[in-house]
A and B are shown apart, each in its own frame.
Chain A
């Protein structure tokens, strides 16, 4: 250590000058903001629930099931996503589709979001492009584990993220969620 550092007082003064510099610079920006200069920002804070930073288009958010023209799921219950899922959080029960050209459709398509690791493998594995993770919804929570299980109807009701980066559909609340 140099003698100056050993004496410590000079270092203290330098540190205090740095922090007080930040203080007065930010204070000036806050004052300018309060006086009408709306581009002056004294803090880097984003006030989260009210303000959000724009999400990346590649963001993997809550899943949704893509619908056909008639509203039925595009999914053909091939079980590819269920097989590839590393967290084993997808449960599919297949049934006949009324249209003979389409072999199968899911009768049940449940995703246990309490187990999901949001790896996106299900989206990549899907041969029909029937499952996507582009809703932009990040805030889904529940007081119980059962409440984290999202069913086919809920996943079908979701819309892709809007052009402004905001979720286009509200957070679906499971019917059996307690409180």
Chain B
């Protein structure tokens, strides 16, 4: 009975995370269309509708468009070029989507939930090296892109794959080096511990979120993170006006999977930024037993409500982060390939090294915030 309950709990945790990421990724197609439309004084996709007899058409703000897209992609011809490598060509989109999907696993979406004498960590997988895991899965995702570029037997796809690899190296180094500062401040590679550390208060009133303790690392991580998602302004691997990109030979749902993996990576980057810099599931002044405001006032809350507030706070932060990422994607034009490289190697990388040095110096002088 306990074994079954344990299995059920693990299944529930994984199910929650995978449904959250998959549905959000699918919905991002709609978010992207609508948000860009509203930013540009347009209306956006609103034509897909379910006709209801005598009442008119149910459009639901264009929410049927992702479904219509999926149906269209699934029923399209699955074309494979004659000289393409059969196995790798079919494998590439699955690799791309898989690593984008599993990367979210070690990002905590809540504190420990205590129900019926059990302690359930609200995290799909509890890993001691959670940061490295997310980071590693994110960089493995580029293998799918490179495989697509190589196996398509198309020079444009090859160029796209090569660009993706180069961009990934230059951005991953900046991501890793900027995360170093966060790891130094909170003293752990465990995502849950990092988020718990962000619940402390600086000077008695300021939540010690990563964005407060590591503002430079936040900017560097966000920039490199956008580069890691391969979306504008860092969409040189795609570069639809120069080379069509690594997925030039793909059609049907395989092309859709590459698009999907970009959206999933956006969700992962938003989740990682939330966990590392925006306090994860932390609500300001909310402790395990309720609110404790800096003035001395406190408000005791039941455990379940606290956990609900925390999960809600995490979801809201991820959604807000996705909004910001979309805003940047629809504001900035694409960097030229050499500009993106220069920004990665000569801008982000030295600055993140500087951030590590500064963080180390400050920690040596004043010690860890506790």
Q: Which of A23, A30, A44, A47 contacts B39 (CB 8 A)?
A: A23
* Residues of chain A with a CB closer than 8 A to B327's CB: 16, 19-20, 23
- Judge whether A27 is part of the interface by a CB distance below 8 angstroms: yes
Closest beta carbon of chain B to A10's beta carbon, Å: 12
Whole-angstrom CA separation of A23 from B43 in the bound complex: 11
Query: What 0/1 pattern do residues 5 to 42 of A give for CB contact below 8 A with B?
Result: 00001001001101110110011001000000000001
- Judge whether B298 is part of the interface by a CB distance below 8 angstroms: no
Closest beta carbon of chain B to A17's beta carbon, Å: 9
Closest beta carbon of chain A to B336's beta carbon, Å: 13
- The answer on a CB contact under 8 Å between B332 and A12 is yes
Query: What 0/1 pattern do residues 197 to 219 of B give for CB contact below 8 A with A?
Result: 00000000000000000000001
Whole-angstrom CA separation of A14 from B15 in the bound complex: 40
Whole-angstrom CA separation of A128 from B87 in the bound complex: 74
* Residues of chain A with a CB closer than 8 A to B37's CB: 43
Q: For chain A, residues 34 to 66, give those with C-beta under 8 angstroms from any C-beta of chain B.
A: 42-45, 47
* Residues of chain A with a CB closer than 8 A to B43's CB: 43, 45, 47
Q: A15-B331, A16-B327, A16-B328 are in contact. Are A22 and B219 (CB under 8 A)?
A: no
- The answer on a CB contact under 8 Å between A27 and B38 is yes
Q: A9-B219, A43-B37 are in contact. Are A19 and B42 (CB under 8 A)?
A: no
**Size range of the chain B interface in the assembly:** 10 to 19
Q: Which of B40, B328, B332 contacts A22 (CB 8 A)?
A: B40
- The answer on a CB contact under 8 Å between B42 and A45 is yes
* Residues of chain B with a CB closer than 8 A to A23's CB: 35, 38-39, 327
Closest beta carbon of chain A to B331's beta carbon, Å: 4
Whole-angstrom CA separation of A112 from B37 in the bound complex: 40
From A46, which residue of chain B is reached at the shortest CB distance?
B43
Whole-angstrom CA separation of A27 from B41 in the bound complex: 10
- The answer on a CB contact under 8 Å between A16 and B331 is yes
* Residues of chain A with a CB closer than 8 A to B41's CB: 22, 26, 42-45
Closest beta carbon of chain A to B7's beta carbon, Å: 44
**Size range of the chain A interface in the assembly:** 10 to 19
Whole-angstrom CA separation of A19 from B326 in the bound complex: 11
- Judge whether B330 is part of the interface by a CB distance below 8 angstroms: yes
- The answer on a CB contact under 8 Å between B328 and A12 is yes
* Residues of chain A with a CB closer than 8 A to B330's CB: 19
Query: What 0/1 pattern do residues 325 to 347 of B give for CB contact below 8 A with A?
Result: 00110111000000000000000
* Residues of chain A with a CB closer than 8 A to B40's CB: 22
- The answer on a CB contact under 8 Å between B39 and A19 is yes
Whole-angstrom CA separation of A22 from B42 in the bound complex: 11
Whole-angstrom CA separation of A45 from B35 in the bound complex: 15
Whole-angstrom CA separation of A45 from B42 in the bound complex: 6
Closest beta carbon of chain B to A51's beta carbon, Å: 11
- The answer on a CB contact under 8 Å between A15 and B38 is no
Q: For chain A, residues 78 to 123, give those with C-beta under 8 angstroms from any C-beta of chain B.
A: none
From A23, which residue of chain B is reached at the shortest CB distance?
B39
Whole-angstrom CA separation of A19 from B330 in the bound complex: 8
From A18, which residue of chain B is reached at the shortest CB distance?
B331
* Residues of chain B with a CB closer than 8 A to A15's CB: 331-332
From B38, which residue of chain A is reached at the shortest CB distance?
A26
* Residues of chain A with a CB closer than 8 A to B219's CB: 9
* Residues of chain B with a CB closer than 8 A to A22's CB: 38-41
Closest beta carbon of chain B to A172's beta carbon, Å: 28
Whole-angstrom CA separation of A19 from B332 in the bound complex: 10
Whole-angstrom CA separation of A30 from B40 in the bound complex: 13
Whole-angstrom CA separation of A42 from B38 in the bound complex: 8
Whole-angstrom CA separation of A18 from B330 in the bound complex: 11
* Residues of chain A with a CB closer than 8 A to B39's CB: 19-20, 22-23, 26
* Residues of chain B with a CB closer than 8 A to A18's CB: 331
Whole-angstrom CA separation of A45 from B47 in the bound complex: 14
Q: Which of B219, B327, B330 gathers most chain A CB within 10 Å?
A: B327
* Residues of chain B with a CB closer than 8 A to A30's CB: 38
Whole-angstrom CA separation of A176 from B43 in the bound complex: 39
Closest beta carbon of chain A to B151's beta carbon, Å: 36
Q: Which of A12, A16, A23 gathers most chain B CB within 10 Å?
A: A23
Interchain Cβ contacts under 8 Å between A and B, 10 examples: A9-B219, A12-B331, A15-B331, A19-B327, A19-B331, A23-B35, A42-B38, A44-B41, A44-B42, A45-B43
Q: A12-B328, A22-B38, A44-B41 are in contact. List 10 more A-B contacts (CB 8 A).
A: A19-B39, A22-B41, A23-B35, A30-B38, A43-B37, A43-B41, A43-B42, A44-B42, A45-B41, A45-B43
Chain B contacts to A: CB under 8 angstroms: 35, 37-43, 219, 327-328, 330-332
Chain A contacts to B: CB under 8 angstroms: 9, 12, 15-16, 18-20, 22-23, 26-27, 30, 42-45, 47
